[in-house]
Structure 1
Amino acid sequence: MSNNNKFISVKDFENYAVGTLPRTVLGYYQSGACDEYTLSINNKAFNRLRIVPRMLRDIRNRDLSVTIQGDRVNVPIGISPCAMHKMAHEDGECASARAAGKHGAIFILSTLSTCSLEEVATAAPNTVKWFQLYIYKDRDLTTSLIRRAEKAGYKALVLTVDAPVFGIRYKDIKNNFSLPSWLKLGNFSEELSKMNQTNGSGLTKYVMSLFDDRLVWDDIRWLKRLFFNLLISI
């Protein structure tokens, strides 16, 4: 079987990853928090979706394009932010953004990307890109990230507010998960670009030490005042 025929469905990619990725990396990509109840009901929710058929329609000129927050995209799909793509592919988020653009989808880059937001912008100039943001305790660092995203052409901020405390991810704790030593977080320099190799989850320790767990609506108003040109999705 040729490589082109090996991957027909999303499940084919998942099966390949299960047989290829290191245990710690696979555990991070696959797992949810605690007993994965929320992950389970999310999957069930997607499985409940059904296509509503429209019979006897002329389908010779189909158009799936939509306008989302002012940008016309070919399909009503966005690639959600997921951290650390280079653990699975050498080109990391640059490759993911190019693929999204090739099919006319929106790509949302994670703050914890293994490629810098500038690298992704250069690699995928024609892709509609949004930037997912965690608000750091260091507001100057947070402001710097947003200004860089704005300068690089990202069209919107996707602000994560539902994680004042990071989820207890059992697999990450058991696997002592951390970003592999040969990789770094592309949007940062020096010590912020690395995760310490420690017992338990290095990702959890990183998040809890740096992300602001005291966010309130005043922080959203602060963002809007500073960056009124960027759309903010929460």
Structure 2
Amino acid sequence: MVPLTLADHGALAKARLPAVIWDFFDGAAGDEWTARANSEAWHRYVLRPRVLVDVSAPDTGTELFGTRLAAPYGVAPMAYHGLAHPDAECATARAAAEAGALLVVSIFAGRTLEQIAAAAPGAPRWLQLYWLRDREALAGLVRRAEQADYRALVLTVDAPRVGRRLRDLRNAFALPPGMTAANLAARLSSEAGRSAPGRSGIEEHSRRQFDPSITWADLAWLRRHTTLPLVLKGVLTAEDARRAVEHGVDGLVVSNHGGRQLDGTPPALDALAEVVDAVPAEYPVLVDGGLRHGGDLAKALALGARAALVGRPVLWGLAHGGADGARAVLDLLREELLDTMVLAGRPTLADLDRGALAPWPPAPRTYR
């Protein structure tokens, strides 16, 4: 089958991956309500097309922190790409570079920061961090990121511990032998390879290694260790968006972790406008969660996002096709975005403003 949609890529990946690995990628926290709501939220908006517009030269290009991207999207941080394909994050890096997309590398990558950088020299890369109890290890990662030309840090702030993911608990999920967090000392990640009935090695690892005591005040410590832009991932409220600006944070990712942390939070798309309206104009706000079509990307931009991050679908492409499969996912999203812009009469990203959207179903009219 030639995959023509992201769902097609998902079907090919599911057929190839062991069930326990598919569940680790696809699963979410609790009853998985938030994960489902993420996907459903995109259908609560429709595009308002304009006609008789010159759409002969649509342009999807954008810029983030001085870096030019072919389209307003990137690969979300996800751990252990080696579970999907032996070439792991190096294959994903090549795919993102060829597609002109941003790559956000997880702290729990299975390849070193330097190997990933060497796989796609000069390509735009950011490093995602969880706040470890071992601050010296955290500071060391930041230094290595700067030396390897990573261009921003993404601190995940919605995970003082890993959420209760029932599929992983039922599967007693643990990393298979040989799968490690290549950028951390073994003592900082070994728990992820150990599990027991009704337990998840990933969850146990987070309880031992993540620092749940951090507050806004701790951001100053991180700032002292880097000059890179700092982006917070996992913000869903105007209150936290405003505090981020007050603390000198350079950008935000509106995200509920793909539904993998607190089940029952709002879909990321529904929180997007609230966050955008709480920060200064032109402040970089990204979004992730449930995006499955280039038309969804257009809706995110119309609600004020500068770009969107795509997670699981990239792993689907990687699982069934390696670097070429991941590249196909990213290329498909860009082609769908272009198609949407042309047919909606919105040939530039600036044309995708809130006037390009309407709620669906529409509010009932009142007649006098």
TM-score, with normalisation over the residues of structure 2? 0.60
Task: Tell me whether 1:168 sits opposite 2:164 in the alignment.
Answer: yes
CA distance in 2, matches of 1:106, 1:47: 26
Indicate the structure with greater helix content.
2
Q: Among residues 57, 60, 75, which one is paired with 1:61 in the alignment?
A: 57
CA distance in 2, matches of 1:49, 1:89: 35
CA distance in 1, matches of 2:101, 2:112: 20
Task: Tell me whether 1:218 sits opposite 2:217 in the alignment.
Answer: yes
1:143 Cα deviation after fit: 0.2
Task: Tell me whether 1:205 sits opposite 2:204 in the alignment.
Answer: yes
Task: Tell me whether 1:91 sits opposite 2:90 in the alignment.
Answer: no
Please list every run of 5 or more consecutive structure 1 residues that lacks an aligned counterpart in the other structure.
none
TM-score, with normalisation over the residues of structure 1? 0.92
CA distance in 2, matches of 1:54, 1:68: 28
Task: Tell me whether 1:232 sits opposite 2:222 in the alignment.
Answer: no
CA distance in 1, matches of 2:104, 2:46: 26
1:49 Cα deviation after fit: 4.5
Tell me if the contact between 2:70 and 2:101 (Cα under 8 Å) persists in the aligned partners: yes
CA distance in 2, matches of 1:103, 1:196: 33
**Paired residue type of 1:224:** R
Structure 1 consecutive aligned stretches of length 4 or more whose deviation exceeds 6 Å:
none
Task: Tell me whether 1:72 sits opposite 2:71 in the alignment.
Answer: no
* CA offset digits 1:58-105 (Å, max 9, x no partner): 233221111112211110001111111110111111111211111111
Q: Per the alignment, do residues 47 and 124 of structure 1 end up closer, same or farther by CA in structure 2, a change over 3 Å counting?
A: farther
CA distance in 2, matches of 1:42, 1:219: 30
Tell me if the contact between 1:186 and 1:193 (Cα under 8 Å) persists in the aligned partners: no
* CA offset digits 1:95-118 (Å, max 9, x no partner): 112111111111100111111111
- Which shifted more, 131-140 or 10-19? 10-19
| Higher RCO by CA contacts (8 Å cutoff, separation 6 or greater) | 2
Task: Tell me whether 1:149 sits opposite 2:148 in the alignment.
Answer: no
1:226 Cα deviation after fit: 2.2
Cα RMSD of the aligned pairs, angstroms, is: 1.5
In the alignment, which residue of structure 2 is the partner of 1:131?
Answer: 127
- Give the percent of matched residue pairs that are identical in Structure 1 and Structure 2: 37
Please list every run of 5 or more consecutive structure 2 residues that lacks an aligned counterpart in the other structure.
233-368
1:134 Cα deviation after fit: 0.7
